[in-house]
């Protein structure tokens, strides 16, 4: 069985550990910790990378920008 958890280190608490213990019982498990880089993840897809880089270009050139009046978001 394989389960992937994605959470912040600060979210690891007794409840999380108890959940692990109840799911795996007395079986030996392997815990691998790696930092999750959202930017790297978002740039993996070629189409998403193209879209994001175009958005950055638009921002730098001041083109195709949408202004939102935050006072209207209630």
Section 23-33 average pLDDT: 93
End-to-end CA distance of the chain: 45
Query: What's the angle, vertex CA 22, arms to CA 20 and CA 27, rounded to 5?
Result: 75
Kindly tell me if the per-residue pLDDT of 74 is higher than 80.
no
Residue whose pair of structure tokens reads 């990378």 in the numeric block? 49
User: How many CB atoms are closer than 10 A to CB 52?
Assistant: 14
Could you give the CA distance from residue 63 to residue 17 in angstroms, rounded to a whole number? 49
pTM of the shown model = 0.49
Nearest to 43 by CA among 33, 51, 32: 51
């Amino acid at each position: 069985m394989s389960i992937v958890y994605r959470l912040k280190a600060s979210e690891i608490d007794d409840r999380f550990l108890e959940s692990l213990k109840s799911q795996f019982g007395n079986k030996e498990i392997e815990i691998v910790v790696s930092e999750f880089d959202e930017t790297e993840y978002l740039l993996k897809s070629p189409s998403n990378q193209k879209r994001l880089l175009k958005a950055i270009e638009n921002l730098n050139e001041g083109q195709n920008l949408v202004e939102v009046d935050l006072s209207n978001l209630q």
